[in-house]
Amino acid sequence: MSSDSPLGSVELKVLDLEREVAFYERFGLTRSDEATGAATLGVGGSPLLRLTALPGGSERPRHTAGLYHFAILLPSEQELGGLLQRSLEERLPLTGTADHFVSQALYFDDPEGNGIEVYADRPRSEWQYPNGRLNIGTDHLDFERLTRIADRPEKKFSGGTVLGHMHLNVSDLDSSQAFYESMGMELMAEAGRVMRFMSWDGYHHHVGINLLEGRGAAPVEAGVRGLQSFEVRRLDVARTDPDGIAVTPAA
């Protein structure tokens, strides 16, 4: 994947806009506007994250649909290694790490609890397809190797960094899968009975869906912080998924 990613930017509703902006600027994004009540952050002038203030908003309750994490795709594992080193040195809120066989990933939470994955892909030639499905698993990340090959840590993400995928808590896997299939995606992999991965063009996933907030989770509500929408470059008109998440054409 490269800058021609089919995904554009993700929009989050936030309770404390300035605190969130300060976090994401420290994290590696650059603010590109001075709007009142909203902020756009991105890489090299391309928007990746839009934050909208939610005055009087409330915390997201348990057992609700919405964001599991949004995922920032870096151009190389060397840059990911640099981020790992910077995370340890600067005490960024690293919550987990994983080797997913198709990619290597670091996980973070922002100050309001929104999940963030930052990852680098392995070459497609290394992806495995046992039983006809792509092998997306979870193993221990090789810290020593990643730091050994790391680029010098940088304060900002490099050009070519994009929104790689969205991972969503949903109420029903079948109805969510049908919605994303209607947009041209296909099922690439499953993890037990609680998680599925879907994409265009044979990528490992552009959208992950899971039941980790419970089957029948309540839909997204307007006055609750968290995911508002995400952009897809392959759409002409906006759509709303079965759990109330807006999927919009990229600007």
Tens digit of pLDDT for each residue in 40-68? 999 998 999 999 999 999 999 999 999 99
DSSP H helical ranges for the chain: 17-27, 77-90, 143-148, 173-181
Q: Indicate the burial class of 135 (C-beta count within 10 angstroms; 0-12, 13-18, 19 or more).
A: middle
Where does 7-249 sit in CATH, by number? Answer: 3.10.180.10
Mean pLDDT of 72-81: 98
Tens digit of pLDDT for each residue in 172-200? 999 999 999 999 999 999 999 999 999 99
Tens digit of pLDDT for each residue in 229-250? 999 999 999 999 999 999 999 9
Q: What is the pLDDT of residue 190?
A: 95
- CA–CA distance, 224 with 235 (Å, rounded to integer): 26
Task: Answer yes or no: is pLDDT of 3 > 80.
Answer: no
CB 70 within 8 A of CB 163: yes
Q: What is the pLDDT of residue 2?
A: 43
Task: Answer yes or no: is pLDDT of 102 > 50.
Answer: yes
CB atoms within 10 A of CB 98: 17
Mean pLDDT of 122-140: 95
Q: What is the pLDDT of residue 63?
A: 97
Domain boundaries, the chain: 7-249
Q: Is the pTM of this model over 0.95?
A: yes
